[in-house]
Amino acid sequence: MGSVVDSSNKANGSALANKKVTVIFVLGGPGSGKGTQCANIVQHFGYTHLSAGDLLRAEMKSGSENGEMIQNMIKEGKIVPSEVTIKLLEKAMLDNGNDKFLIDGFPRNEENRAAFEAVTGIEPEFVLFFDCSEEEMQKRLLGRNQGREDDNIETIKKRFKVYMESSLPVIEYYNAKGKVRKIDAAKPVEEVFEAVKACFTPVAAS
């Protein structure tokens, strides 16, 4: 694809270069249960959970100029520019005392992925991919009623389309490197977590 990061210019000026961190990307469509499982992983394996969406929403509420731009893009179901999200993730990792991070809902596309690796010099340990049918995800999103303005049927359909077009190439990229751990996310929460635990146990033991 021509987007391979040149290792010689990795981590150009990233403060994260001096902090040895383990990163696991958590990917899956909207409503695939990423947040629930991340909470379980945090509890059992001591990771810090960074949700790209939560960081962006917090930035929106902060009233910064970036916040307004982010709000407009999310309303349109569009993807926020990589550098904005990466800056928020970098800051969150540097401000945190932990060295093990779950990054949930990012990278959203190939450009995000290449930019993250180029800016931070970090490749994920592995990618946890929650595989779930569109019908099941839609049912969950409409049923959860968390009061999020992006949980209406129109925006949900936009989010599915963006996810399918943008995120799947990222999963394919890491899959080719043998870094994807695929989870059947349509099963009950407890069963899903049993599968998740199996992915983490070798990492936790190393």
Q: Extract the annotated binding site for CMP.
A: 112
**Cα–Cα dist 148/181, whole Å:** 29
Q: Would you state the structure tokens that stand for residue 53, as one six-digit string?
A: 């969406």
**Cα–Cα dist 29/160, whole Å:** 7
CB 151 within 8 A of CB 141: yes
Residues at the annotated binding site for ATP? 31-36, 144, 187
**Cα–Cα dist 25/112, whole Å:** 12
Residues at the annotated binding site for a ribonucleoside 5'-phosphate? 57, 78-80, 105-108, 148, 159
**Cα–Cα dist 77/158, whole Å:** 6
Residues at the annotated binding site? 31-36, 57, 78-80, 105-108, 112, 144, 148, 159, 187
The string of DSSP codes covering 7-41 is GGGTTTT-GGGGS--EEEEEEE-TTSSHHHHHHHH
